[in-house]
Amino acid sequence: MKKTLLFLLIIFSWFLPPAQAEIRTFVHTVRQPFSGSQSPDDAEAAAIHKAKREVLEEAGSYLETLTIVEDGRLTKDQVLALAGGILNTEIVSQKPYTTGEGYGVIVKVRVRVDSSVLEDRVKELISDKTAISQLTIIRKRETELLDKIERLEKVNQELAKKNETQTVKKKKEVLKTDFQQTTKELDAVTLRSQAVKFLWKWRKDRKHSNLTRTIGLLNKAIELDSNDALTYGVRGGTCFQLNQFIKAFQDLDKAIELNPDSAMTYNNRGVVYAKLNQPIKAFQDYNKAIELNPDSALIYNNRGDLYAKLNQPIKAFQDYNKAIELDPGNAMAYNNRGVVYAKLNQHISAIQDYDKSIELNPSNADVYNNRGNEYNDLNQPIRAIQDLDKAIELDPGNESAYNNRGYAYAKLNQYIRAIQDYDKVIELNPGSAKAYNSRGIVHINFRRIYQGCADLKKACNLGECKGLETVRRLGVCQ
């Protein structure tokens, strides 16, 4: 029976009754003049980005008044990143204008905030520290680029006043290129933000399509701006989830080359090394990540996972304890420490950690599966089934939960239900020798000798012969 460690590469108390639900609308307009080296397209792109940023700042000020956001203890930049992550801006209108001073474009944008769904969206994103961090970095980059455009616009105005000498012409051409490149980089910022949102959705629903969309957006972002470390880092983490390990290494190496001070990139590369059973290189990356950011609970948790995998429980406990010390709300670290306790047969301590993990995050199927498995080990099959039912409700494709529930039903002599669960495991994983072995034993206990022996022989062909050897000694299967 398998306990599941929770890995992560790359998570309040406000309630608004339906009667008080409202939709708040924020509207913002930007007038963007253009002339000289700034083309209409470049001016329009700048106006759209400015308008969206400024309307999100207004919406962010509203979010700051919510108790759930105050309790999250977010910085101003994180609140604005939160606003960008959960709210959608729409362009109401964009049209050119002409005055005696020149030409320009007017862009009007709008954000609607529906308070009836706001709490859940805020809570989900606040709990996803990876997404908040990435969105904060993206917002900072957008601000830098918009500041750069303002500087270019001032240079543009100064050049417009000068005589058209050869030197001025060359400067205007350079300026034109700078405007175009900055616009491309702003477009890349938008693509990065969309990619992070799809990745956030994937962490919630595990739909493969959200990973492929993330990759597609990041590919386009790199075409527009090939020097952004975050883009390569996020794409590398996404490639890892798609089991594209060579591409993951290439992207994470590139991200480190562009930004050798990113603790999270070293962490993510360490996760890839750990997955590929290269523990020395994994430890080197985790240690470097901790050196760069000694306050990251996530990195200590991941290094603890590696110690646990290498059967070094004392060091694993030290890292999990440190992760919990840094982040007392870290549900993942409690679960993973519980798994180590379980391996050491310290069942009560394991269940206490699983209880805490579920209290902090009641929607993680793996933790219910782990606790149910622990109740199986304590010969409490009814309590085990309650947890395993919940695990399957949360994750209908959880092979381990069906296997463990089948075991619990078998302990209660409810053979039909046990067989149904092992059937489901085999449906999900036709190569599961353990499921064939367990189903074979249940069939034999249920006096279905022919079916039982067939299953045990199948399990043996798949590499699991213990059940067949046992019943053969009893003279059941010849």
- One-letter amino acid at 299 equals I
Report residue 129's pLDDT band, with 50, 70 and 90 as the boundaries.
confident
Query: Is 401's pLDDT higher than 90?
Result: yes
Which of the given ranges, 55-59, 114-118, 353-357, 359-363, has the highest pLDDT on average? Answer: 353-357
Do 319 and 213 have their domain in common? no
- Does residue 391 form part of some domain? no
- Torsions phi, psi for 336 (to 5 deg): -70, -35
Query: Is 13's pLDDT higher than 60?
Result: no
Domain boundary among 185, 210, 226: 226
pLDDT digits (tens, 9 = 90+) for 369-390: 999 999 999 999 999 999 999 9
- Does residue 186 form part of some domain? yes
- Does residue 243 form part of some domain? no
Report residue 8's pLDDT band, with 50, 70 and 90 as the boundaries.
very low
Q: Buried b vs exposed e over 117-146: b needs ≥16 C-beta within 10 Å?
A: ebbeebbbbbbbbbbbbbbbbbbebbeebb
Mean pLDDT to the nearest integer, 168-183: 91
Q: Name the pTM for this structure.
A: 0.80
Do 179 and 325 have their domain in common? no
Report residue 10's pLDDT band, with 50, 70 and 90 as the boundaries.
very low
Do 114 and 219 have their domain in common? yes
Mean pLDDT to the nearest integer, 173-188: 92
- Please give the tally of structural domains in the chain: 2
Mean pLDDT to the nearest integer, 409-430: 96
Mean pLDDT to the nearest integer, 304-328: 96
CA-nearest of 366, 436, 375 to 401 is 366
Do 61 and 174 have their domain in common? yes
The three state secondary structure string of 131-185 is: HHHHHHHHHHHHHHHHHHHHHHHHHHHHHHCCCCCHHHHHHHHHHHHHHHHHHHH
Mean pLDDT to the nearest integer, 105-113: 79
Which residue has better confidence, 418 or 128? 418
Do 197 and 334 have their domain in common? no
Do 71 and 180 have their domain in common? yes
- Does residue 206 form part of some domain? yes
pLDDT digits (tens, 9 = 90+) for 44-76: 888 888 887 877 777 777 776 665 555 556 666
> Domain residues for 321?
295-338+348-360
pLDDT digits (tens, 9 = 90+) for 438-478: 999 999 998 899 998 999 999 999 998 888 888 887 778 87
Do 209 and 300 have their domain in common? no
Angstrom CA distances, 263 to 11, 95, 274, 286, 363, stand at 18, 44, 16, 9, 28
Mean pLDDT to the nearest integer, 416-436: 95
pLDDT of residue 126: 66
pLDDT digits (tens, 9 = 90+) for 218-265: 999 999 999 999 999 999 999 999 999 999 999 999 999 999 999 999
Assess contact for 331 and 362: CB atoms under 8 A: no
- Does residue 303 form part of some domain? yes
Do 98 and 207 have their domain in common? yes
Do 77 and 202 have their domain in common? yes
Do 219 and 316 have their domain in common? no
Do 188 and 317 have their domain in common? no
- Does residue 74 form part of some domain? yes
Assess contact for 370 and 387: CB atoms under 8 A: no
Q: Mean pLDDT for the chain?
A: 86
CA-nearest of 267, 202, 286, 260 to 10 is 267
Angstrom CA distances, 328 to 17, 241, 356, stand at 30, 27, 10
Do 196 and 50 have their domain in common? yes
pLDDT digits (tens, 9 = 90+) for 190-228: 999 889 888 888 887 778 888 999 999 999 999 999 999
Domain boundary among 174, 194, 226: 226
- Does residue 83 form part of some domain? yes
We report the CATH number of the domain holding residue 308 as 1.25.40.10
- Does residue 174 form part of some domain? yes
Domain boundary among 360, 392, 411: 360
Assess contact for 153 and 246: CB atoms under 8 A: no
